[in-house]
Chain A
Amino acid sequence: MLKLEKRASPSTFWTWAAPVVAVALTMVVGGLMFAALGKNPFVAIRTIFWDPLFGEFAFYFRGQLLVKAAPVILIAVGLSLGFRAGIWNIGAEGQYIMGALFGGGVGLAFYPAEHWFIFPLCILAAALGGWLWGMIPAILKVRFRTNEILVSLLLVYVAQAFLASMSLGLLKNPEGQGFPGSRSLAQYPATANPELIAGTGIHWGVIAAAVVVLLTWVLLDRHILGFQIKLAGQAPRAARFAGVSPSRLVLLCMGVSGALAGLAGFFEVAGPAGQIKIGFNVGYGFSAIIVAFLGRLSPLGILLAGLLMALTYVGGENASTNLGLPSAAIQAFQGMLLFFLLAVDMFTNYRLRLVRRRVA
């Protein structure tokens, strides 16, 4: 029979081959689904994976990939630190919302003044908002050993209700004809997070994501803290002997991931989303969890996984518009891709062994 055997160290071959195999498998199975829906599978696959990168309008879509991927990558990198140390923050969606509310709220408090310091202040406030929201489960965990998975998840709903209340009340645009939602942050020059180089899609959030990826890579590779995080995840007991304080690590990881999610939230409402309103959060906080794992919790991996995820969104949308595929089919397709990626990933750490059963 077949048996799984843990590899001594992750396979270099499979590290690179796994995503390729997964994408290939998704293309086959997804292609069958598209064919079953009466569409040409080859055209559909090309529209999803090729056209946004190299098609006729790639000059526009390449930038859009960055817009779509940046918040997810920013959040996922933060989450990956905690995940490595065995600290499970799955409430990034809530921290993202709170960051947007804090950052946006501070910015709008100055409306309509114009000062150079408003934008940096918003960024700080956003990080603070996300950090605070992340500290709630962290402190409860440190102080009462409360399960952070559950508390951080529950706080997402609280944040959503808070967002609704703010959009309908305190932050509601007084000139918005009674519609819920804040003033436009993107059109208020002091808070706007515009496209910095026309046509590239690059805004401050994209730059922040790139910087954070780089910093995290250095941190994990070069810094003692990175070593402590990795050690805490792999060998908690050894970590304690090595003088790593678990409490400090929890506070740090939850705080950092919260702050990064908060930043992502503000960059989004001040730029691409444009304003704070009910439902501006489209699930980036949850997508980021998947992206963190697909990227194997490494900054570079997350960068690639985030871009791949963005590609399926942007390309999937194109397929939907141009080929008339229902958007549900695209959603199912993305789900499949994730399934295959998660499944095939096993081969990096395990190998299949044919073992003969001993005859009794």
Chain B
Amino acid sequence: MLGGIDPVVLIAALMVASVPILLAAIGELVVEKAGVLNLGVEGMMIMGAICGFATAVSTGSVWLGFVGGALGGAGLSLIFAFLTQIMLANQTATGLALTLFGLGFSSLIGQGYGGMKPPPIGPVPFGPLADLPVLGKILFSHDPMVYVSIAVVAATAWFLKKTRKGLILKAVGENHDAAHALGYKVVRIRVLAILFGGALAGLGGSYVSLVRVPQWTDGITAGAGWIALAIVVFGSWKPWRVLLGAWLFGGITVLQLNMQAAGSWLPVQYLSMSPYLITILVLVVMSADRSRAAMNAPAALGKNFQASR
């Protein structure tokens, strides 16, 4: 017992709370592994939130809603892909513009969806498993997207580590000129990675509007996209560590609120700084170690590629 907090309940709660940032962060991880820095995660998430919500409301299917959300996020990321990969615009500036545009455009689409309720989504029926002590609550009481998000982590880890395509993607992120010389289509691979990142950010956004809150309001993602960016770094570009990071970031918020509810006084502002400070510390430790730093951070991150021939 942590000052009157049931750790089982806390873990179950943070697993749910961290789904949006986890999905978005995994998407961004793949994008960054391909050597692209897309700071527009927040914009793509909120586009996913409204597109997913609108689709779910009009079709009555929450699953189509998730698909719609992923498409919405991917659609917006296409603009980023076009500008940075074809028109060679600066990635930092384009990403920021993407967020600005996404926030405005989502709110435009969303006019008229306020006050509506999306179709509900229940927990996966695990039957008696859900009644197990401790494990039942932590492992077998969630809605399907919680499991989907963890599956995405596993799939991404496998893809990056075990498949040839994953290796190519990483090669492009390390040194695009060398990858190009080897005959790989740098731009095509990066565009695909950006689309994947957009789709996952959109999926994460639609989880907010369809499950977490369930409703649509302007600015509903409230900065989750920025946290996702931090998590990628915290996880040192490794999928399983990103999962850990998402739980830490999601967990601090949940823990903070729970501790308040349990009546323990704490300096909320300083606590909410802590994950960022920890992330910086992790970064420093990681980069101080020469051998490990080289393996994780994509060397060509944020640099544009233009084939000279």
The chain A residues found within 8 Å of chain B, CB to CB, are: 4, 6, 37, 88, 90, 140, 144-147, 149-151, 153-155, 157-158, 161-162, 164-165, 168, 286, 289-290, 292-294, 326, 328-336, 338-339, 342-343, 345-346, 349-350
Contacts and interface: CB of A to CB of B under 8 A. Distances in A.
Residue among A144, A150, A345 with most chain B CB within 10 A: A150
B240 interface: no
Nearest to A291: B93
Contacts of B158: none
B283 A147 contact: yes
A157 B228 CA distance: 13
Contacts of B308: 6
A94 B53 CA distance: 33
Interface stretch (B83-91, B114-122, B164-172, B197-205): B83-91
B275 to A, nearest CB: 9
A154 B93 CA distance: 17
Contact of B280 (A154, A292, A294, A328): A154
Interface string B82-110: 11000111101110111011111111100
Interface in B21-77: 37, 39
A104 B93 CA distance: 30
B88 A4 contact: yes
Contacts of B18: none
Interface residues of B, number: 49
A145 B39 CA distance: 21
Given A149-B37, A161-B273, A293-B90, A342 B283 contact: no
Nearest to A343: B87
Contacts of A146: 280, 283-284, 287-288
A59 to B, nearest CB: 30
Contact of A144 (B100, B101, B276, B287): B287
B83 A151 contact: no
A12 B276 CA distance: 44
A289 to B, nearest CB: 6
Given A90-B92, A147-B233, 7 more contacts: A88-B92, A146-B284, A146-B287, A153-B226, A294-B93, A334-B101, A339-B101
Nearest to B39: A90
Contact of B107 (A37, A157, A328, A346): A328
A151 B92 CA distance: 15
Contacts of A158: 273, 276-277
B190 to A, nearest CB: 15
B297 to A, nearest CB: 6
A285 to B, nearest CB: 10
B269 A165 contact: yes
A154 B279 contact: yes
B283 A326 contact: no
Nearest to A334: B100
Contacts of A4: 88, 306
Nearest to B233: A150
Nearest to B108: A328
A335 B98 contact: yes
B218 interface: yes
A154 B233 contact: yes
B263 interface: no
